[in-house]
Structure 1
Amino acid sequence: MMESNNEWIKLWPKGAPLAQGSGDEDIPAIKFYPAKETGRGAVIVVPGGGYGMRADHEGEPIALKLNEFGIPAFVLRYRVAPYRYPCALNDAQRAVRYVRHHAGEWGFRADRIGVLGFSAGGHLTASAGTHYDSGNPEADDPIDRHSSRPDAIAPCYPVISLQSPYYHEGSRINLLGAEADEELAASLSCHNRVTSDTPPTFLWHTADDGAVPVENSLMFAAALGKNKVPFELHVYESGRHGLGLAEEDPHVATWAELCGEWLKRHQF
Structure 2
Amino acid sequence: MKKLKIRIVKFFKLFVLFLAISNLTQAQNQIVPLWNKIPDEIKAPDYKEKEIIKEGLVQSTSLVSIPTLSIFVPTAVKPNQTAVIIFPGGGYSHLAIDKEGTKVANWLNSLGITAFVLKYRLPSDLIMKNKNIGPLQDAQEAVRYVRENAAKWNINTNKIGAIGFSAGGHLASTLATHYDDKTYESASKISARPDFSLLIYPVISMQNEVTHKGSQTSLLGNNPSQDLIDSFSNEKKVTPQTPPTFLVHATDDGAVIPENSIYYYLALKKNGVTSELHLYENGGHGFGLGVKDTSKNWTKDCEEWLKSHGY
Question: In the aligned structure 2, how far is the partner of 1:95 from the partner of 1:264?
Answer: 24
Mapping 1:99-248, distance limit 5 Å: 99-133=146-180, 139-140=186-187, 144-246=188-290, 248=291
How far off is 1:150 after superposition? 0.3
CA contact (8 A) 2:251 2:281 kept: yes
Residue 88 of structure 1 is matched in structure 2 by 135
Q: Decide whether the 8 Å contact of 2:30 with 2:72 is kept in 1.
A: no
Q: Which residue of 2 aligns with 1:33?
A: 72
- In 1, distance between residues paired with 2:225 and 2:31? 34
The 3-state SS of whatever aligns with 1:31 is strand
For the pair 1:59 / 2:101, whether they are aligned, the reply is yes
Of all paired residues, the percent bearing the same amino acid is: 44
Q: Please list, as runs of the form range in 1=range in 2, the aligned pairs for 1:251-266 lying within 5 A after superposition.
A: 251-266=294-309
The answer (yes or no) to whether the contact 1:205–1:217 under 8 Å persists in 2 is yes
Amino acid of the residue matched to residue 45 of structure 1? I
Give the match for residue 4 of structure 1. Answer: 27
- Equivalent pair of 2:93/2:123 in contact (CA under 8 Å): yes
Contact 1:134 1:149 in 2 (8 A): no
Structure with greater Cα Rg:
2
Q: Matched residues in 2 for 1:214 and 1:134: separation?
A: 27
TM-score, length-normalised on structure 2?
0.79
Runs of 4+ in 1 over 4 A off after TM superposition: none
Structure 1 distance, partners of 2:221, 2:197, is 26
AA at the equivalent of 1:132: Y
Q: Which residue identity lines up with residue 41 of structure 1 in the other structure?
A: T
Mapped contact 2:283–2:293 kept (Cα < 8 A): no
Aligned residues: 260
Residues 20, 26 of structure 1: 8 Å contact kept = no
The alpha carbon displacement at 1:8 in A equals: 2.3
Residues 93-115 of structure 1 deviation map (CA, whole Å, 9 limit, x = unaligned): 11001000011121110111100
The alignment's C-alpha RMSD in Å is 2.0
Q: Matches of 1:179 and 1:102 in 2, distance apart?
A: 40
Q: CA deviation at 1:54?
A: 0.3
CA distance in structure 2 between the aligned counterparts of 1:250 and 1:166, rounded to whole angstroms: 24
Partner secondary structure for residue 74 of structure 1: strand
Question: Using the alignment, how far apart are the partners of 1:19 and 1:9 within structure 2?
Answer: 19
Shift of 1:134: 9.0
Structure 1: 5+ residue runs without aligned partners? none
Cα contact 1:134–1:146 (8 A) shared by 2: no
- For residues 266 and 30 of structure 1, the distance between their equivalents in structure 2, rounded to whole angstroms, comes to 26
- The equivalent residue for 1:45 is 86
**How far, CA to CA, are the matches of 2:71 and 2:275 in structure 1?**
27
**TM-score of the pair, normalised by structure 1:** 0.91
| CA distance in structure 1 between the partners assigned to 2:197 and 2:84 by the alignment | 9
TM-fit CA distance, 1:180: 1.0
